[in-house]
Structure 1
Amino acid sequence: MSERIVVVGAALLDAGRLLAARRSAPPDLAGRWELPGGKVEPGETPERALVRELREELGVETRTLTRVPGEWPLKEPYVLHVWTARLHPASPAPEPLQDHDELRWLAPAELWTVPWLDQDVPAVRAVAALVGHGA
């Protein structure tokens, strides 16, 4: 069995809303929505990777809060771990800088109004349950 590579996803929360990011690349994922994030690099903690990825992808400064229970398989050998996170008070507003063409803050009632990537659906359900958004 090959070694698993952890991909960290952010359940970025603000005023009870969850940030969703629409993929612009690669073509087979374009137009679908995901929790922003990316791969943990060797020697990097998942929390540091998440802060770095959100800075690179969205131009924001964040702090990680808690890990969402569970892990979700992606394309081999990747596995998704999700953390809740918040913007730093002095952070600029998120912008789609890499791999995304639109961002949307979703209130609890709007959570399922976007077509999430199949592999993100169970993670979004877990986030919703954790923060009391229901599924």
Structure 2
Amino acid sequence: MLIELTRFRVLPGKRALVDEWLAFLNSNMEAVRETLEPEEMYVETIFAETIDGVDYLYWYSVQGEQGASRSVRDSPHWLDQKHVYYWRECIDPTYEPQQLTPRVHMMPERVQASMKPLKQENT
């Protein structure tokens, strides 16, 4: 299992487009869920923060070991293609993403045991 929390800086003047992006994801949650299984993405949450007038987005995820090897950029799913469009329009490519380091991971065993690739459930 891979747990990540990463901070990305939003390009100046893109707050309204970020709001549109997040509303798009929220209003298409059924399609979002379709994309999670192929990515072995068990939990994905996006947080927003403004520090000294600069907007940041944080991605928190819990995914399977193989999930990190799959890129959303390669997905043929229409929702992922739109997600990548918003990413390119909103995220500052000159800002090095900040990977926060997990220090403690707390999860009930039964929950962790249920987090496995779908294909393993059928074997």
TM over 0.5: no
TM-score norm. by structure 2 comes to 0.31
Richer in strand (by share): 1
Richer in helix (by share): 2
Q: For the pair shown, which has the larger CA radius of gyration, 1 or 2?
A: 2
TM-score norm. by structure 1 comes to 0.29
